[in-house]
Structure 1
Amino acid sequence: MNQFKFKTMAVHESGLPEKPLVIFLHGGGAAGWMWQPVADLLGDSYRCWMPDLPGHGQSREAGRFRIRGAAQMVIDLVRAQAPDGRAHLVGLSEGAQVLVEMLSLDPGCIRSALVSSALLRPLPGMGWLASEGLLKATYVSSVAPFKNWDAYIRLNMKSAAGIPDQWFEPFKAEFQSLTAQSFADVMLENQRYRLPADLDKAHLPVLVLAGSREYAAMRQSARELAAALPNAKAYQFHLRRPASLAEQHNWPLNDPELFATVLRAWLDEEPLPEQFSALD
């Protein structure tokens, strides 16, 4: 996998340069590496860019993580370096929120979009996650003391993030790079983000997804996002094996073959696999 820098943002690249460009936006607490299994499966048909969003991975010098700021940086990347200033966009979790913001700010730079698990509503009982002070205190008590304890990092990786064991080293590096401020930034941006204005101007095709075992607020967010977009479809999905909520949420790492199949079907305008049903 190659890498280049756009301004202060690191972008990982794979696939064939002459093929259609797909840009993958990762979730909070991860980085572009989380898309590598999917990109490997698509490399014969697509050019894949996987940025490390600001505040993550090798883009920490790009500044603190803000959904709007990250969206504008990806827009600038597309306009400056993508063929014809447009690309297909894929986003998961916090990367999906960044993609929703892009749909509001500059839909013209997006050929099509796949939005998976974009939270746009408050989670019941999770109001404390919107307090910067409480989040920083949580970091001090539950993250900082365990930065060098591999067993704790593995437990967090599995139970909270749903990431498979083979990705321990990059997850550990991301975990150990957290500060109280960066931890609070990611959590606050995720919990505070709501459905933006101007989505009615985004006439491009958008596929909106949520896992059947995810929070009800996540599935309702998918419904509301699809309703706000002129040309969107919303589906819920099941993985092909039993999975926890976290594993289903992070499904590109837990079932990259399924994710690649779905993305190919979407881009080729073919039916989605049988695990997908309309989210009415």
Structure 2
Amino acid sequence: MKFKELGQPEHPVVILLHGGGLSWWSVEGAARLLTDEYRVVMPIIDGHGEDGGTDFLSIKDSAEKLIRFIDRACGGRVFALCGLSLGGQIAAEALAERRDIADFAVLESVLVQPGHDRGRTVPEPLIRLSYGLMRFRFFAKLQAKALSLPDELFEPYFRDTQKLTLNTLIHILKSNGDFHIPASLKETGSRVLILAGSGESAEMKLSAGLLKKAIPGSRLIISKGMRHGELSIAHCGEYVRLLRQWFSELPDEEGGSST
């Protein structure tokens, strides 16, 4: 796991974790809007972009690497820990492993499996087929559209998809599709904001509700018309507005759901 940073080193630390198949450049827009007040850290998850040489193994492994970085470079605690999709799952795992790791947390479009259900498993032959198609621009453009990437982010996206190994892709899809809410997440000391889009799948909106139920005092916001990842990637100004609002609210104002 590698790390990019923006902002002044003495400012409170906000960590922005990108989604699967993306990299730090997908959160750079939001990061730049936060640098007036915060030191923004953008991890590059194993197997992605500039860290393509290190295969992604699991959500738990990535969370442990993130915690080690926070211990080493941030004094063991950060102001806010935010993540999208796979990055949000890693953030949730870190919150569960270390209850006092962040004052605030934002979990966007995080897929979780209910109860003890086994997750939806993508057949490996289909993963291998998708991996081959990723090398073609036409397929990458379809994927970029599904990820709500603005046109200006297509080239870095296409460039970085070429660095994903088959092993990384298999582990990402299996980890993402079989993620359960860690039992100790309910004990987190962070104030947690959960985000999803009304244009996302029913499964994703169900996941957001399960997270809201599992984390005492958390708030759920369903953004009207937004698809998977669209809020933080394509509408980073609105995303940052929600973050700043959450950071400034008093504890007795939290909880509930809104759209």
TM-score (norm 2): 0.88
Measured on the aligned residues, the alpha-carbon RMSD in Å equals 2.3
Give, as a single letter, the amino acid of the residue that structure 1 aligns with 2:164.
Answer: L
Aligned residue number for residue 273 of structure 1: none
Give, as a single letter, the amino acid of the residue that structure 2 aligns with 1:177.
Answer: K
Matched, 1:266 2:253: no
Aligned residue number for residue 4 of structure 1: none
Matched, 1:70 2:55: no
Aligned residue number for residue 3 of structure 1: none
Which stretches in structure 2 are left out of the alignment for 5+ residues? Answer: 251-255
**How far is 1:269 from its partner?**
1.4
CA 84–161 in structure 1, closer or farther in 2 if over 3 Å, else same: closer
CA 204–255 in structure 1, closer or farther in 2 if over 3 Å, else same: same
Partner Cα distance (1:279, 1:223) in 2: 12
**How far is 1:84 from its partner?**
5.2
Contact 1:207/1:233 (8 A) holds in 2: yes
May I ask how many residue pairs the two structures share in their alignment? 251
Give matches, 1:38-49, under 5 Å.
38-49=30-41
**How far is 1:279 from its partner?**
5.3
SS at structure 2 position matched to 1:107? coil
SS at structure 2 position matched to 1:13? strand
Q: 2:47 aligns with which of 46, 55, 59?
A: 55
TM-score (norm 1): 0.82
Contact 2:49/2:161 (8 A) holds in 1: no
Matched, 1:170 2:156: yes
Aligned residue number for residue 212 of structure 1: 198
Give, as a single letter, the amino acid of the residue that structure 2 aligns with 1:112.
Answer: F
Partner Cα distance (2:198, 2:45) in 1: 27
SS at structure 2 position matched to 1:182? helix
**How far is 1:44 from its partner?**
0.7
Partner Cα distance (1:250, 1:181) in 2: 27
**How far is 1:185 from its partner?**
1.6
Partner Cα distance (1:155, 1:228) in 2: 35
Contact 2:13/2:40 (8 A) holds in 1: yes
**How far is 1:64 from its partner?**
2.3
Highest RCO, 1 vs 2 (Cα 8 Å, sep ≥ 6) = 2
Matched, 1:201 2:187: yes
Percentage identity across aligned positions?
Answer: 30
Q: 2:211 aligns with which of 206, 211, 225?
A: 225
SS at structure 2 position matched to 1:27? coil
**How far is 1:194 from its partner?**
1.3
* 1:127-166 CA-partner distances (Å, limit 9, x unpaired): 452x3343224323x33xxx2x4344223212x2221110
Give matches, 1:109-120, under 5 Å.
109-120=101-112
Aligned residue number for residue 98 of structure 2: 106
**How far is 1:42 from its partner?**
1.1
**How far is 1:73 from its partner?**
0.6
Which stretches in structure 1 are left out of the alignment for 5+ residues? Answer: 1-8, 271-276
Matched, 1:188 2:188: no
Matched, 1:150 2:137: yes
